[in-house]
Amino acid sequence: MFERAREVADAVLYEGYALYPYRASSAKNRVRWQFGVLAPREWSLAGGCEQWSNQTECLVEAGSEFELAGKLRFLHVVRRRVEERVGEPLRFREASSLEVDGKPWIPWEEGAAREVDFSATLGVAHHAPAGVAFAIPSERTMEPIRSAKGATVGRSVREASPLAGIVRVSAEAVGEGLFQLRIVVENVTDWHVDDAPRAAVLGACLLGTHSLLAVRGGTFVSMVDPAAKAKEAARRCKNKGTWPVLVGAVEARDEMLSAPIILYDYPEVAPESPGELFDSLEIDEILTLRTLTLTDLEKAEARATDARAGAIIDRAEAMSSDTLERLHGTWRSSGLRGDGQPRGGGKVTIQGVEVKKGSRVRILPAARRADAQDMFNEDRAAVVQDVLCDAEGNHHVAVTMEGDPAAELYQWKGRYLYYAPDEVFPIGDER
């Protein structure tokens, strides 16, 4: 269950976890945990800046009842302190940092992934909400820091505060064969310091909170594009701090991801991406190249900051030229059919003529364009390399200019000029 959804869910979980240049000393890594933060109820109600609960509402098509299986996922702050040895017998005091044999040891807030499973039988005969309470105990571990000669010169101390929460599940019939599913997640961790700053309370928060949901004996309704009969019921659903989308195999409707960021149905990680960068904006090439420009000292600090950050450094340094080339850029049509092909089959009819890859056209840029380059391409002949369709159903004709000495290079790189169908005129094969 959730095999295909987990990769996307992990991207949500670690979004912004540690940002380039992946060092604890970087200003942008000093204010972290921006998405899906659920704070203790008492602190939030006393005026804290984070909510203490979220709510997912979505629709399920089913008969009289259906089975729901869910997985609540979030990060739990593990604070890592660095202490230096100050005398005999072994005594330690907290340090801002420690360097041992050229290796830095740095304080940091790590994120430990937590999961809570829940399930319920819901339907016409099941009126009482189901509730699952969970508790995560405190943790404290110590790791000695030794020199190359084996002497204990300090220690790394990791501490995690206890967490407590509740997942509440209910369903209400809102039409024939249609149920409104509601899932509420609450942080009820014990907390008594009302005026504590956000940084102090993060250890008692659920971070990057999201849910994976699966239904048996029914199907989910798309909340992005609901069927006509479910549109009004979908409009009445109230999502607070979450956004539910279909996940898994395209056109399957048995799994859903409720995330703290807005996604589209069936999101997926770009297949070219070799691994996480904590920045889900498909800019892997830029971040990888910039990571390679870090100095040896900066890379050492990044590795000392977090094991996951260290893995990014190692992966960037080991990346082959072929892998890096695949990150350079790929055009994907947003208007895909269920089989993953561009709507329209890569062709469009212009002036009664079918235009597709290989067609010859004349460029007639529209007055609405603001690109000065178009005045040089006006009335020139071009060869169509592709016809693509976006999410709104608009076609875009990708061309290379005839007589351009760089045309072959553009084809190899997939770098084209794009025009709307009303900006090109079919001219046939006459040269």
Predicted pLDDT of residue 326: 77
What's residue 340's pLDDT? 44
Amino acid symbol at 130: A
Q: Are residues 100 and 208 in the same domain?
A: yes
**pLDDT at res. 334:** 45
Predicted local distance difference test score (pLDDT) of residue 330: 61
Whether 189 is in a domain gets the answer: yes
- Domain assignment present for 293: no
For position 391, what pLDDT does the model report?
Answer: 67
- Look at residue 300 and tell me if it is in a domain: no
pLDDT of residue 338: 43
Burial 220-243 (b: 16+ CB within 10 A, else e): bbbbeebeeebeebbeebebebbb
Tell me the C-alpha distance between 122 and 99, whole Å.
57
Domain count, the chain: 2
Both 168 and 57 in a single domain? yes
Q: Give residue 371's pLDDT.
A: 67
Q: What is the pLDDT of residue 1?
A: 80
CATH number at residue 407: 2.30.30
Domain finish residue from 268, 286, 312: 268
260 and 366 co-located in one domain: no
Q: Please report the pLDDT score of residue 107 as a whole number.
A: 96
Of 249, 268, 287, the domain-final residue: 268
- Examine residue 6 and state whether it is found in any structural domain, yes or no: no
Owning domain of residue 143: 33-268
Residue (of 335, 329, 330, 296) closest to 313 by Cα position: 296
What lies within 8 Å, CB to CB, of 181 at 6+ separation is 56, 57, 58, 59, 60, 68, 122, 169, 170, 171, 213
What is the predicted pLDDT for the residue at 327? 79
- The pLDDT assigned to 281 comes to 62
Q: Cα separations (Å) of 363 from 325, 367, 377?
A: 31, 13, 7
pLDDT of residue 45: 95
User: In the chain, which stretches have pLDDT less than 50?
Assistant: 333-344
* 204: in domain: yes
- Could you tell me if 51 and 184 lie in one domain? yes
User: Whose structure tokens read 């912004």?
Assistant: 16
Is there a single domain that holds both residue 351 and residue 256?
no
Task: Identify the domain boundary among 225, 251, 268.
Answer: 268
